[in-house]
Structure 1
Amino acid sequence: MTDDISDLTPMLPSDVEITPLISKAPLASNPWKNAITMIVLFLINLLNFMDRFAIAGVLEQIKVYFDIGDAEAGLLQTVFVCSYMALAPLFGYLGDRYSRKLMIILGVTLWSITTVAGSFVPKNLFWLFLLLRSLVGVGEASYSCVAPTIIADMFKDDMRTTMLALFNIAVPLGGGLGYIVGSYVSKAFNNDWRWALRVTPVLGVVCVILLIALVKEPERGSADGARMQKRSSWFYDVKQVLKIKSFLLTTLGFTWVAFALGSLSWWGPIFLEKAHILAKGQDDPKDAANVALFFGIITCVAGIVGVLLGSEIARRYRKINQRGDPIVCGIAVILAMPFLFGVLLLSKDHLTLTWIFIFIAETLLCSNWALISDMLMYIVIPTRRATASSIQIFIMHLFGDASSPYIIGQISDFFRKGADDRLTQWVSLRNALMLTPFVATMGAAAFLFAAIFILQDRRRAQETIESSVDDLHSNL
C-alpha cells in the first residue's frame, strides 16, 4: 500500500461556503472560553451516561416490580438505544446547519423530563415505561451527534486528541457512577428503584443553566483555518461520507465492539451478582448493592485509565507510524479477549481473579473510544462531521448495543428453559454472553483493515480544506 495521493486532487466542494483567513492558521480563540466549554460538555456527557446506566444498577428490582423476564429487561436498553439511533441522522443534519448549543439545551431538557416521568409509572404499565425510556434516547441523541464537532472546532492535532480523550473519560466514569448512584440511592430509599431515576434530572437542570450562561458555540471549521457553512443536501453529505473507506471500517469496528460492551455493561452486574450467590451458597441482599458498587468503581477507573492510555499510546505511536490510531484500536480489542473469556468462565469459583480480569478487559476495550472520535474528526471535513457522527451512531447502535442486550436476554431465556434454580440462571446467562468475545474480535479485524486507508483519507480531507482556502486567497 503506497501513501502517494497524487490522484486525490483537492477541489473546493460545491456544497461548502468558506470564508478565507489572512493565513491558514486557526482562528484566534479564547483559551478560557474553550476550557469552560470543555468542562460543561464533559459534565453533560458524564450526566448522559449516568442516566443511561443508573437503571442497570437497579435492573433486578425493576424486573420484580414489573414482573418481567430477562428478555423484557434487555428490551429496556434496546428501545432506549433504538430511539437514540433512529433520531441520530436528523440531529446530524441539524447539527451541520443550525445552532448546536440550542440542540444540546433542548436535548438535555427532554431527557431530564422523561427520566423523571419514568419513575412514576405504575407496575401494570410496563409498556409506558418502555415508551418513556425511548424518549430519553431521543434527548440524548441530540447531544451525542454534535458535542464532539464543537470540540473539533476549538482544537486541532494533538490537542484535539487530548480534549476528545478527556471528553470520552465521561463515558466510563458516568457509566460507573450510574451503577453506583442507581443502586445506592435505591438502597437509601428502602430499595425503591424509582428514586434512582430522580437524581440525574436535577443535575440536568444545572447543566442547562451552565450551557445558557457560559457556553459560546465556535464557528464550524475555525480550528482548521476556515469558517465553513453548509449549502448541500443531507443525501449528498451522506453519499460523500460513505465514500470514505476508513470511516466505514472504523464504524464497523466500533459497532462490533459496542455489541460486546453494550451487552456486558447491561448484564454484567446481574451476572456477577448470580456468581456471588453461587460462590457463597446463599442469597445475601447486600450482594446486589456491593456488586453494583464494585462494578461501578472498576468501570470508572478502568475507563479513565483505558481512554488516557489508549490516547497516549496512539499519540506516541503516530510519530513512528501515522496509521497508528486504528492499529492501536484493533490490538487493544484482541488483547482484551482472553480476559473477557476468563471473566465468563471463572466468575463462579474465583471471585477475586474475576474482578482483576474485568478491570483489564474494560481498560483495553475502553482505550479506543477517544481514538474513534478523533479519527472521524480528521477524515471528514468540518461541514460533514455531525452528519458522519450521526451515521456512525446509527450503524453502531442498530447492529451493536441496541440489539445486543435483548439478543443476550433471549439466548439466556432459551438456555434456561424455564428453570429458576441459581446455577441454571448463571449458566444460561454465561452461555449467552459467550457470544460477545467472538463479535468483538470481528471489530478488531475491521480496525486493522482501516489502517490501510486511514492516511490517504486524512490527507484528502485536510488538503481539500487547505486548497479551498488557497483558491479563495488567490481570488481576493
Structure 2
Amino acid sequence: MVNTEKTGYKWEVLALLWVAFLFNQADRQVFNIVLPLLREDLGLTDVGVGAIATLFNLVYALFVPIAGYVGDRYSKKWIVVASILFWSAATLSTGFATGLVMLILLRSIATGGGEAFFGPPNYSLLAQYHTKTRAFAMSIHQTSYYLGIILSGLAASYIAERWGWRYSFYIFGLLGLIHGIVMIFRLKDKPVEANNAVSQEKMPSLLDGFKIVFGTPTALILTIGFSCLIFGLTGYLTWMPTYLYENFSLSLSQAGFHSMVYTHVFAFIGVILAGKLSDKLAVKDKRYRILLQSMGLLLACPFIILMGNAQSLTWIYIGFAGFGFMRAFFDANTYSVLYDVVPARYHSSASGVMIMTGFFIGSFSPVVLGYIKPIFGLSMGFSFLAGVWIFGAIVLWVAYRFYMKRDLAKVETC
C-alpha cells in the first residue's frame, strides 16, 4: 500500500508521470521517424502521410475535453493508467498495418484517442501534489517530452534500419504496457481534504470547462498562444526528419537523431532554467509567467527561419538548438499560467479545452506543409511556422499587459 502522506511521495508521483509522458511522446514521434520507410513500403503520398498526422491530432482534439471532464469527476489515477495501457496497445498494433486505412484506424483513431485521456488528469494530478513547487515540477515533467522525442529519434531509427519500421512500434508499445502495469500498483490519487471537498452538486459539467476558458480572457489568450505553439511544433516534428533525409542525404538514423537531439537537449536545459526563474518571478508578480512565454515564442522565430533556410548543416543545428531553448520558456509556464487564472475545481476541464483547441488547430500543420512541400519546398513551410509564432507572442503580451492582473484577482475571490 502506497502512503500518499509521505513528504517524498509527491516526487514519486512526478517520476511515474514523467516516465508515462516520455512514452506518450516517444510513441507519438515514432511515426515521424520511420515515415520515409513506412511511406515507401506502403506506397503512400506526402499528402497521405500528412493526413494521417492531421487526423491523429483531430481525434486527439475531439476526445481531450471529455478527458478533462471525467478527470475532474472521477479517479485521475485510473484514467491515466487506462490511457497509457490503451495507447501503448494501439502503438504496438500499428506495427501490423498494411495500408492507409489501417494506419488511420490504428494510429490516427486508436492511438490518438487513447493519448487524449492522458494529458488533463496527468497535469491536474501533478498540480495537486505540487503547490509551492508547481512550475519547477511541471518543468521537470516537461523534460520527459524532450527525452521521449530524443529516445524515439535514436531508438526507432536504429530499430527500423535493422529490423524494419514495424518493430519500432512493437517495442515502444510493449514498453508502454509494462509501465502502465507498474502504475497500477504505485500511482495513487491525492486524498481530498474534508474542508476542500467539492460537493456533488458543484462538480463541473462537460460545458463548464469551455465556459471557464472562453470566459476568462487570460485563459482564452493562453489557449490561442498554445495553439500557435502546437501548430509550429507539429509541423516541425512531422517533417523535419524527412527534410534532412531528402535534402542533405542523411541516413534515416542520422536524420532522426539530428532533427531531434539538438532541439530537445537545449529545451531540456531551457525548461529547468525557465521553471526556476518562473517560480522566483511569480513571487513578485504571477504575470511574469505569461511574459516569459511571449518572449520565448518571439525569440525562437529567428532560429526557426535559420533551421529551415540555412545551406549548412552546422547552421541548421544551431537553429535547432536556439529554437529548442527559447520554446522551453513557453513550455515551463503553460499549466502554471492556466491554473493561476482558473479555479482549482476546473483545472482538468480547463486543461482539456486548451489542449483540444491547440491540437485541433495544430492538426492542420502537417497536411498544410505536405501541400506546400511539392510547390514551394519545406523551407517556405518552416518560415511560415515562424509567422504563426510571432502572432502567438503578440497575443500573449496583450494578456500580460491588459487582462491577467484582473483574472488573478478574480480567482483569489473564488
Query: Fold-level match, TM-score > 0.5?
Result: yes
- Distance in 2 of aligned mates of 1:182 and 1:368: 28
TM-score by length of structure 2 reads: 0.93
Aligned: 1:207 with 2:156: no
Per-residue CA distance 1:155-174 (angstroms, 9 max, x = gap): 213x0111111111111221
- Distance in 2 of aligned mates of 1:236 and 1:44: 28
- Distance in 2 of aligned mates of 1:225 and 1:173: 39
The SS at the match of 1:77 is: helix
The SS at the match of 2:198 is: strand
- Distance in 2 of aligned mates of 1:328 and 1:43: 27
1:232 deviation in Å?
Answer: 4.2
> 1:460 — aligned with what?
410
Whether contact under 8 Å (1:174, 1:300) holds in the other structure is no
Aligned: 1:382 with 2:344: yes
> 1:315 — aligned with what?
279
Aligned: 1:171 with 2:141: no
1:108 deviation in Å?
Answer: 1.2
Whether contact under 8 Å (2:308, 2:383) holds in the other structure is yes
> 2:392 — aligned with what?
443
2:371 is aligned, of 410, 413, 438, to 410
Larger deviation: 433-442 or 319-328? Answer: 319-328
Aligned: 1:391 with 2:341: no
> 1:255 — aligned with what?
227
> 1:334 — aligned with what?
298
- Distance in 2 of aligned mates of 1:300 and 1:319: 28
2:159 is aligned, of 162, 169, 185, to 185
> 1:129 — aligned with what?
103
- Distance in 2 of aligned mates of 1:42 and 1:106: 16
User: After the TM superposition, which residues 13-412 of structure 1 pair with which residues of structure 2 at under 5 Å, given as runs?
Assistant: 29-122=5-98, 125-134=99-108, 135-157=110-132, 159-189=133-163, 192-219=164-191, 226-229=196-199, 230-277=202-249, 287-346=251-310, 349-400=311-362, 402-412=363-373
Q: Which has the larger radius of gyration?
A: 1
Matched residue type, 1:450: A
Per-residue CA distance 1:443-468 (angstroms, 9 max, x = gap): 1112111213223322322331xxxx
- Distance in 1 of aligned mates of 2:262 and 2:248: 17
Whether contact under 8 Å (1:81, 1:397) holds in the other structure is yes
Per-residue CA distance 1:234-287 (angstroms, 9 max, x = gap): 22443233211100001101111211111011111111223323xxxxxxxx62
- Distance in 2 of aligned mates of 1:243 and 1:412: 39
- Distance in 2 of aligned mates of 1:366 and 1:71: 30
* Identity %, equivalent residues: 22
* Cα 1:33–1:225 shift into 2, 3 Å: farther
Matched residue type, 2:119: S
Larger deviation: 200-209 or 246-255? Answer: 200-209
Whether contact under 8 Å (1:162, 1:311) holds in the other structure is yes
- Distance in 2 of aligned mates of 1:232 and 1:208: 28
Per-residue CA distance 1:110-154 (angstroms, 9 max, x = gap): 1111111111122xx311111111210111111111101001111
- Distance in 2 of aligned mates of 1:362 and 1:91: 29
> 1:19 — aligned with what?
none
- Distance in 2 of aligned mates of 1:232 and 1:316: 32
Matched residue type, 1:408: L
- Distance in 1 of aligned mates of 2:35 and 2:328: 23
Aligned: 1:431 with 2:380: yes
- Distance in 2 of aligned mates of 1:429 and 1:240: 38
TM-score by length of structure 1 reads: 0.82
* Cα 1:237–1:77 shift into 2, 3 Å: closer
Whether contact under 8 Å (2:208, 2:349) holds in the other structure is no
Whether contact under 8 Å (1:49, 1:174) holds in the other structure is yes
Whether contact under 8 Å (2:304, 2:320) holds in the other structure is yes
* Cα 1:453–1:142 shift into 2, 3 Å: same
Whether contact under 8 Å (2:150, 2:264) holds in the other structure is yes
Whether contact under 8 Å (2:94, 2:103) holds in the other structure is yes
The SS at the match of 1:198 is: helix
Whether contact under 8 Å (2:234, 2:366) holds in the other structure is yes
The SS at the match of 1:121 is: coil
* Cα 1:209–1:252 shift into 2, 3 Å: same
- Select the structure that is richer in helix: 2
- Distance in 2 of aligned mates of 1:321 and 1:102: 36
- Distance in 1 of aligned mates of 2:413 and 2:115: 34
- Distance in 2 of aligned mates of 1:208 and 1:454: 38
Gap regions ≥5 residues in structure 2: none
* Cα 1:441–1:110 shift into 2, 3 Å: same
Q: How many residues align?
A: 407
The SS at the match of 2:74 is: coil
Whether contact under 8 Å (1:71, 1:413) holds in the other structure is no
1:319 deviation in Å?
Answer: 4.6
* Cα 1:366–1:76 shift into 2, 3 Å: farther
> 1:12 — aligned with what?
none
Ranges of 4+ aligned residues in structure 1 off by more than 4 Å: none
The SS at the match of 1:404 is: helix
